[in-house]
Chain A
């Protein structure tokens, strides 16, 4: 148990992610002035039932002074879950729904974690779902929020974990977006960063039958 939950979080977080910007979002705590804009933004995100596209992930390992790049596609399906498929250099798949987490490794090995058997996972899944479905209340329960509304340009949302044990692993998340999410920057406590850039994002009213099958 214990920090297993946090390592588990590591496997899930690629989906969560944040951003970079000229002005640091972390000097702008969410306040009465910016809250209405965030509420409006969350409402907009919540209305996007299905969003899919491609992503590029750049992990910077400070110990090795090296960047590791991988590419793939993603699918956020509101309340149903998240599909995260790495295509290169090593194919792997993560499918996370409220019920279970399914992971397929490059070698084709599959592991299934039932949410019912792991409340920590359930809590994490709920948090991620909160971020991607614009559930502000659930986000605030786990994170301190910072927000810079776009005013014509991209908006920026900063999240800092409230839980001390979580903060020992993740120092912050920054999310940038306009109509869709554009970038997520995850800063680890150890100094490494993971940057996700999203492209070719498009939304749909509902999942196709094939996609629906993935979350079963």
Chain B
């Protein structure tokens, strides 16, 4: 038989290589750890967005998008609110002082740069022949000069026009003032609802004054692990201030707060899950064996497996995501399986209990188990999802390490005395008797019961909702969610998560495309479908637009400047000076360097993405979008423009990954089935593979009944079931002559798996994942004895 050939050859190989066992085991681990030690500083990535694949179709657009979000995601704000403005102001000063100089912060801003208004006025005056609002250009094109003259007079005769009149003899139509007004209305300089009060940015909301403290992380600051992060410093300063100033309210907004929350939550949960799982396992093993040796050996094996998995992941990826470690921690459960199968034999009263004898009985089973599990993990290596690839490496190497420990080191251990009363074995024998009774039933009754279970499963499957949302991975804490909502209400930024990326061969082409886009956006704004937008070309028109503006001013406006200057009280000399100034500025284009020098706001700076891989990019932020569909249709028709809808795309991306993951699961089953078919005959292979298949289907059905979504993380959980479920089936198949010992081993491994994944089910990061694995494994445990060969059958 194929199977016995496989069994005899792996036992033969084990026997012949006995002298190499210890060196092989030491060599495997030594190589891994040496590689890790030489591989440089390991880095743990806790940035939520980096576990997701790039969503944009064009790779270069994706990279541009990533550059933009790195900029936008690196800043955060704290609003300090109080009924008394002075108290809020005082608290804000204390917070800013406490944060300044923190190594992970690039900038902390509280006081308003009071030179900006003057600088802006000067900027728009210097560039009044190059940069004008589109509606002014339309007035010039249509020759509405009287109107421009009248509006300029209105400004002159209004109060507080002081700045606007600074250069009136060279700008009698107040063109600079028009550009400035449009700029101030655009929100490019910041939130429109926040004003300057007592030298700081403040907003009044529901009877309270909120003073804004803005912070910007150093590059890569989002990724700093929880230690050395600025966010806990903010929190502790805030706590102190709240004690000192009664009635002080703090509102937090920005990606770094969320990144910190998910990272610190993950760390707490890793600690908690490891401790809980370890404690429960210690109790189980200690109660069964009344000996410390199996316990110590199991835990050393497990620890070594996790260390090996981590070392391999760092070697392969250099930067490992925190989530990999969270999920990998559940390996504690899986990696003890082989150790447990081995030690269960120590409780077998009927057969020799020395190491080599045990290996001869168990090696084929655990080898098949390892191979089938490795197969299903190796498939994950091809997933287009960095997190899954990292988990695959972590888990495969961890399992291989455990397998080597069991096969190479355990046989050298001396078994303890057999406990006098073998209670566990008796309990399990009773459970097995229940299975026997099921098989003793009349076949119609047995089949009816199975059909009933099948029908119930089908109903559950029909109720499954394949839903994917970011919430599946990251549940924002209610406190932080409330804070964000409040900040949105106070700042009224209207950020919709929608923006356009514009791409062009050079900056000129990008700016022209931006102008084509903003011309249409202006119509959307006028028709009320869009609240506004932020675009670089508002401040930096393309050369083509600049040239057009210059020509229009010269041909339409300046010929009428004489009358305007006279009405303002200037003599003829002023007109000559104006013309001379105009001619001198021929060919003097406004360039991006001047804009950078102006440094309006960090946001305005971020919109210009610049060069990425030989192409130029910019972003146009869309505010208060009311009709995303019509925008998408409009942007779709423009060359070089891509509408990015983060929220919607995230859902779509997760959905796409889910489909790929489902295909990977199917592939894993196919491979395992082919492997089993090579070892056993076709009916046996079919029976064995039926265990994890049925367990997975029933798991999904239960999710359906429970109203839980079948999201990407549930599907990732299902990926683990083929490996574990077929392990159980194979253990029974191999151990059919010693069913009770086999059941003991499988029960122990179930206990450890359920302990760790069950704990994960209560975690905020991977709840559905943990639940899916727990259900799948438990169902595999229950179904496996049904598939196994029965004595005398």
Contact = CB atoms under 8 A, between A and B. Distances in A.
A92 B153 CA distance: 11
B197 interface: yes
Contacts of A1: 184, 187, 189-196, 201
Interface in A185-211: 186, 188-190, 192, 194
B614 interface: no
11 contacts: A1-B184, A1-B196, A2-B117, A7-B160, A7-B184, A66-B568, A105-B150, A119-B203, A120-B203, A188-B160, A192-B161
A190 B162 contact: yes
Contact of B156 (A2, A59, A123, A168): A59
B121 to A, nearest CB: 10
B168 A59 contact: no
Given A105-B151, A165-B199, 12 more contacts: A2-B195, A5-B195, A6-B196, A7-B160, A59-B159, A66-B569, A68-B153, A105-B150, A105-B154, A119-B203, A165-B112, A194-B159
A105 B155 CA distance: 10
B116 interface: yes
B495 interface: no
Contacts of B159: 10, 13-14, 59, 186, 188, 192, 194
B351 interface: no
Interface in A122-137: 122-123
A2 B204 contact: no
A2 B144 contact: no
B151 A106 contact: yes
Interface string B151-177: 101101111111001101000000000
A57 B157 contact: yes
A4 interface: yes
B162 A169 contact: yes
Interface of A: 1-7, 9-11, 13-14, 57, 59, 61, 63-66, 68-70, 86, 89-90, 92, 105-107, 117-120, 122-123, 163-165, 168-170, 186, 188-190, 192, 194
Contacts of B156: 59, 61, 68
A194 B166 CA distance: 17
A9 B160 CA distance: 8
Interface string B562-586: 0000001100000000000000000
A169 B185 CA distance: 20
Interface of B: 112, 114, 116-117, 144, 147, 150-151, 153-154, 156-162, 165-166, 168, 181, 184-185, 187, 189-199, 201, 203-205, 492, 568-569
A interface, by DSSP: helix, strand, loop or mixed? mixed
B492 A164 contact: no
A90 B144 CA distance: 15
A190 B161 CA distance: 10
Contacts of B168: 63-64
A10 B117 contact: no
B158 A10 contact: yes
A168 B112 CA distance: 14
Nearest to B569: A66
Contacts of A163: 197-198
Nearest to A86: B154
Contact of B154 (A64, A106, A118): A106
Contacts of B192: 1, 4, 117-118
Contact of B157 (A7, A59, A120): A59
A188 to B, nearest CB: 6
Contacts of A10: 158-161
A10 B117 CA distance: 15
Contact of B160 (A4, A92, A106, A170): A170
- 10 smallest CB-CB distances across A and B, nearest first, come from A10-B160, A190-B162, A120-B195, A106-B150, A4-B184, A5-B195, A68-B157, A107-B147, A194-B159, A165-B196
B199 A164 contact: yes
Contacts of B116: 2-3
From A5, A119, A164, residue with most partner B Cβ within 10 Å: A119
A70 B153 CA distance: 10
B573 to A, nearest CB: 15
A165 B202 CA distance: 12
